[in-house]
């Protein structure tokens, strides 16, 4: 503002001095006022011109004038470029921040002081069933209709988290969400959600496992305690004592089998996957499996009152001349468990067929039986620990409920998978699929 004023004074002085010299003071004053008026008109015109330039949408084009007005315009352009650079950097940081929140596995929802939705990431949208474009400015309690959640939002203390049901993506499982509210800014609220479904399931499985182990051990312990009390309190003839001692030995063997299977599972879960350096002679391995199956069938035959023979028709197909690359004890345990299960659950006189084959997937060991079959709803859970289709039948045959879990762990450690096919009334087929890298021709 000082520069235009000085320019006006300078213009008046420059014009007034010559006129004063030639004509006198009055004419000089008049000439000075006229010069100032003319210059003021020019100044107003230039000011109007720069105002028009400032009102344009794009101020980056070069200015068509020079002098102090050009300097003013250039300073305006420099300030504008600095402001745009700062704005772009802030926008870029904001985008990076939003991308990081979007990539978070936890749900993030921003609420205003009244609890209305201002923004949420895709995880929160999936957890709570929200649509940002549709539900913006909607109250969160109106969208998440859970009594526990509504009570938590209405409370004054949000230091602890609460667990609610999330939006179910299927009919078989409802996710569990951990929800916690945090205050920030000037009354704004940050709602964090975390999917704890797997944690909840793991905790439930742990509780079920402890309960199942306790139940499985308590039953034989109760029997043993009863027999011991009987032997201690009642005098019995030697023959009766021997019968009681035999029954006690059976219960002790049952507990020993259970503990052995639990230790096997623990070792499988805590050890490294097997390498390819150990070679297992498949014909020798299957010879041991066949001997165990025949012995079990013979024992079950005795329990059924048919002494001196096998309870089932065991068909072992010719064994390929292979070596399996893996741990012999683990493979023997997995295969024996599948064959033993078939023997235990196939009715007397049934047919059990055991064999190996090779496909593009690799080596497939299969055990087929002519038993009662398994209903489809049980198939997905058969390999869970202690899961039984018929608990009474399992205890009668001496099963621990861990055989399929062991077989599944073993084959997965060897890079394969356990497959089960069954139809009610048509028998079942259990398969261990091993990758081709685990097979070699047996060297002579």
Domain match, 157 and 185 both: yes
pLDDT (0 to 100) of residue 352: 92
- Alpha-carbon span 433 to 439, nearest angstrom: 11
Q: Which two tokens stand for residue 192?
A: 């964090």
Tell me which of 98, 123, 144 is where a domain ends: 98
Domain match, 428 and 282 both: yes
pLDDT (0 to 100) of residue 192: 93
Domain match, 382 and 355 both: yes
Q: Which residues pair with 322 in a beta bridge?
A: 441
The total of structural domains in the chain comes to 4
pLDDT (0 to 100) of residue 316: 92
Residue 163: give the domain boundaries: 105-195
Domain match, 247 and 307 both: no
Tell me which of 35, 66, 98 is where a domain ends: 98
Considering only the C-alpha atoms of the chain, give the largest distance between any 2 of them, rounded to a whole number of Å: 160
pLDDT (0 to 100) of residue 8: 57
Domain match, 177 and 51 both: no
Domain match, 59 and 78 both: yes
Q: Is the dihedral of CA 36, 39, 41, 43 positive or negative?
A: negative
- Alpha-carbon span 45 to 39, nearest angstrom: 10
- Alpha-carbon span 153 to 111, nearest angstrom: 11
pLDDT (0 to 100) of residue 282: 93
Domain match, 93 and 148 both: no
The CATH number of the domain holding residue 241 is 1.10.287.130
Domain match, 333 and 256 both: no
Would you write out the chain's pLDDT as a tens digit for each of its 444 residues? 455 565 556 555 665 556 556 665 666 666 667 766 776 777 777 777 667 666 665 666 666 666 666 777 777 778 878 888 888 888 888 888 888 888 888 999 999 988 899 888 888 888 888 887 888 888 998 888 888 988 988 888 888 888 888 876 655 567 889 999 999 888 899 999 998 888 887 787 778 777 777 777 777 788 788 888 888 888 888 888 888 888 888 788 778 877 887 887 777 776 777 888 889 999 999 999 998 888 888 877 665 545 555 677 889 999 999 999 998 988 998 999 899 888 888 888 889 999 999 988 889 999 999 888 888 888 888 887 777 666 554 445 555 678 888 889 899 989 999 999 988 888 899 999 999 989 888 776
The CATH number of the domain holding residue 340 is 3.30.565.10
Domain match, 185 and 203 both: no
Domain match, 316 and 428 both: yes
pLDDT (0 to 100) of residue 394: 47
The CATH number of the domain holding residue 163 is 3.30.450.20
Tell me which of 82, 98, 114 is where a domain ends: 98
Q: Is the dihedral of CA 272, 268, 328, 364 positive or negative?
A: negative
- Alpha-carbon span 438 to 101, nearest angstrom: 44
Domain match, 376 and 391 both: yes
Domain match, 80 and 138 both: no
């Amino acid at each position: 503002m000082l520069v235009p004023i000085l320019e006006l004074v300078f213009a008046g002085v420059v014009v007034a001095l010559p006129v004063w010299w030639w004509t006198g003071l009055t004419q000089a004053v008049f000439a000075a006022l006229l010069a100032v008026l003319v210059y003021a008109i020019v100044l107003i015109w230039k000011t109007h011109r720069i105002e028009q330039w400032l009102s344009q949408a794009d101020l980056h084009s070069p200015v068509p004038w020079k002098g102090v007005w050009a300097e003013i315009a250039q300073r305006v352009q420099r300030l504008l470029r600095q402001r745009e650079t700062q704005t772009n950097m802030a926008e870029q940081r904001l985008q990076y921040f939003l991308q990081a929140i979007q990539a978070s596995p936890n749900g993030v929802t921003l609420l205003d002081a009244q609890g209305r939705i201002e923004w949420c990431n895709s995880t929160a949208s999936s957890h709570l069933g929200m649509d940002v474009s549709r539900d913006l400015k909607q109250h969160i309690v109106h969208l998440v209709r859970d009594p526990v959640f509504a009570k938590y939002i209405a409370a004054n203390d949000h230091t602890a988290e609460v667990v609610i049901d999330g939006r179910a993506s299927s009919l078989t499982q409802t996710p569990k969400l951990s929800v916690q509210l945090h205050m920030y800014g000037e009354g704004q609220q940050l709602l964090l959600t975390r999917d704890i479904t797997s944690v909840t399931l793991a905790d439930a499985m742990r509780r079920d496992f402890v309960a199942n182990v306790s139940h499985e051990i308590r039953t034989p312990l109760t029997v043993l305690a009863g027999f011991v009390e009987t032997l201690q309190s009642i005098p019995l003839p030697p023959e009766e004592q021997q019968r009681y001692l035999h029954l006690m030995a059976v219960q002790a063997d049952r507990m020993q089998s259970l503990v052995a299977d639990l230790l096997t599972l623990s070792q499988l879960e805590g050890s490294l996957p097997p390498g390819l350096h150990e070679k297992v002679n498949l014909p020798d391995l299957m010879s041991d499996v066949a001997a165990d199956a025949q012995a079990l069938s013979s024992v079950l035959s005795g329990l059924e009152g048919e002494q001196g023979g096998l309870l089932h028709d065991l068909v072992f197909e010719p064994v390929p001349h292979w070596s399996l690359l893996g741990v012999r004890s683990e493979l023997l345990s997995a295969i024996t468990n599948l064959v033993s299960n078939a023997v235990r659950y196939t009715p007397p006189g049934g047919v059990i067929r055991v064999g190996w084959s090779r496909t593009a997937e690799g080596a497939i060991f299969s055990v087929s039986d002519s038993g009662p079959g398994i209903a489809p709803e049980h198939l997905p859970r058969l390999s869970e620990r202690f899961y039984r289709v018929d608990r009474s039948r399992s205890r009668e045959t001496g099963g621990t409920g861990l055989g399929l879990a062991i077989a599944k762990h073993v084959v997965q450690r060897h890079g394969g998978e356990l497959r089960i096919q069954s139809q009610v009334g048509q028998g079942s087929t259990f398969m261990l699929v091993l990758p081709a890298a685990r097979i070699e021709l047996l060297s002579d």
